[in-house]
Chains A and B, each alone.
Chain A
């Protein structure tokens, strides 16, 4: 660990410069984000997860084998839909731990595996009741648990009725949460009403700027999360230290799909949410750089011709991922500092990740 000491001499600006508020149509941003970005994403998640629930039901009826083509296809679609909505974690997704229950993320301590094993060993029939299941650990309620049942080593060791039933209940649980998310974002009295009626009596937002801030935060937050947890954690500092098992959804081989969907979703929020147009009005070059950053990152991702879990251990592919890190770091800066400032929506450093 290198810890150097840098001696003082720093420029200190004496006063806090007050800049005039940029003329940004926050109202429009909030409405566009809800109508054109958020709602379609949770609708899609509800649709795909309902299909997955059906596929697991059929697979179990046909022979208690989750590792079927139908389940595989449906699973990938849900994972993609989830990755496209994963950054939208406030409001309805922040209730009842829905976000974590749909997918219990990066899990270096293997809670998902251990808790699943425990449950399967007990083969407790009570856990197969949805109401009971919902009260179990959040680690086993979502996609990462189902992924182990469908693709994990033990899944191939022979299908048992219990394992299949467990997969079925997980899929049902996901479908239920997804349906609630979709309905609640569509409910005109629900969170939409809160976001679109800011004011002194509003439960959360004093003004349109604050509501727009809520829509903007997932842009920088989602990018930072993807970068730190999904890319840098498995990549580590060197090839020797790389952690392929930290790679998101490696068992199902959906990693690239997830990363691509994450990026496309964030780009869509930026563009469809109206942040891009507002940035372009004031700082055309900055808007270009941000759009190019997304495009460049997606191109790099598309060019990696092996599973990401192998890529972190492959010298050439690793270099690609390292380049991706650089591009995303830059993109993040342009969003979190550049666009944020331009739009008058500075994201607080201290709120990236609570502690």
Chain B
């Protein structure tokens, strides 16, 4: 409904034409790579591509802190977004290990730092802020036309952060944070009473709102920021509490098709250790469990898809998480560490420590 008039038909057509094979990054042959933004000790920003053993394959410089990335398996492009309120995204040609293009954000929008590709790799959807109108949007970019912005959809909330494609290839799941608390400029509705974080399911072809799940009223300061989805369409949401630190709200949400958003907590000591703050979430390759990072508490927690807390791992300033193809996860920390979370045994295996790289919040699987 908010696609710009001229572009609407085209964008509709593009989504309709998408051959749908979701979540395929891990199923491809060849070596799995990971892309993670980072900052060095001189406060210079960049991103690095590394393999499953933590060995750096390539580095890229960035003009400011990077944030989330997403992979286009067809074009072998990775797109990495600037951290909010960012105005650029870089397109990395993964095979050639080079920056193929820089996408500039529209002047009256800024990026929130996340995006996702349609299953056919044709369209890129990016969470953006239409700041003059104080509303969240999803910018739509055509990967086959030099990432031209071909339209936009409403995110149906304020402060959209992470967006993921559902396995049906037609639906986008958007985490509308509802509130932004960067001290410099909480750039949105400032009236406390109006904060309304939500998980919105949005039709990718026209932006129609298919379902909207809000957190309960008493938890309206529970900002939904990050999402992961498995092959069955189960969505795991990782939250950040914007209220007093003594409160102990649930920090993890699970949504299943046809159900509401269910919030879940870890046992009390673990819940405390998470420090009311989750940074990132990823499903395991088999989709049966997921991992949530809590960098402020230096802890990673693993959860089953029924919402049961499984186990936890200590990782100093650990934030970015991603699945390993053979099960388990990879995680990175602001210390420069890259570790493997083993599928069995419940241990962390240090893989590498890059002391000149403070790994930033997110890691994309390529």
Contact = CB atoms under 8 A, between A and B. Distances in A.
B159 to A, nearest CB: 11
Given A3-B60, A337-B41, A138 B245 contact: no
Contact of A350 (B55, B113, B183, B317): B317
Contacts of B295: 348, 350-351
B39 interface: yes
B334 A105 contact: no
Interface string A1-22: 1111111101011111100000
A119 to B, nearest CB: 12
Nearest to A139: B190
B149 interface: no
B131 A5 contact: no
A299 interface: no
Contacts of B213: none
Contacts of B350: 15-16
Contacts of A138: 186, 190-192
A288 interface: no
B88 to A, nearest CB: 6
B185 A12 contact: no
Given A97-B192, A111-B190, A106 B99 contact: no
A310 interface: no
A5 B317 contact: no
Given A8-B58, A12-B54, A350 B279 contact: yes
Contacts of A16: 337, 350, 353
A106 B190 contact: no
B244 A350 contact: no
B184 A204 contact: no
B77 interface: no
A202 to B, nearest CB: 9
Contacts of A320: none
Contact of B58 (A5, A89, A332, A346): A5
Contacts of A111: 190
Looking at chain B's contact residues, is the secondary structure mostly helix, strand, loop, or mixed?
mixed
Q: Which of under 10, 10 to 19, 20 to 34, or 35 or more describes the interface residues of B?
A: 35 or more
Contacts of A353: 182
A5 B99 contact: yes
A355 B113 contact: yes
B317 A106 contact: no
Contacts of A136: 191
Most buried by A among B244, B272, B335: B244
Interface string B6-45: 0000000000000000000000000000000001011100
Interface string A96-115: 11011000111111010001
Interface string B99-118: 10010000000000100000
B183 to A, nearest CB: 6
A281 interface: no
B90 A351 contact: no
A139 B189 CA distance: 10
B63 interface: yes
B84 interface: yes
29 contacts: A1-B102, A3-B99, A5-B60, A7-B97, A8-B59, A12-B353, A13-B354, A16-B350, A94-B244, A95-B244, A100-B183, A100-B186, A106-B185, A109-B187, A138-B186, A138-B191, A138-B192, A204-B246, A225-B184, A329-B43, A332-B43, A346-B317, A348-B298, A349-B359, A351-B317, A354-B181, A354-B277, A354-B279, A355-B361
Q: Which 10 pairs, one residue from A and one from B, show the smallest C-beta to C-beta distance? A: A349-B334, A348-B317, A350-B295, A349-B358, A350-B319, A137-B190, A229-B184, A106-B184, A6-B59, A16-B350
Given A15-B350, A333-B43, A350-B334, 16 more contacts: A2-B63, A5-B61, A6-B60, A105-B185, A106-B184, A329-B43, A332-B43, A333-B42, A348-B296, A350-B318, A350-B359, A350-B360, A351-B317, A354-B277, A355-B161, A355-B225
Interface of B: 39, 41-43, 46, 54-63, 67, 83-84, 88, 90, 97-99, 102, 113, 131, 161, 181-187, 190-193, 225, 240, 244-246, 269, 272, 277, 279, 295-296, 298, 316-319, 333-335, 337, 350, 352-356, 358-361
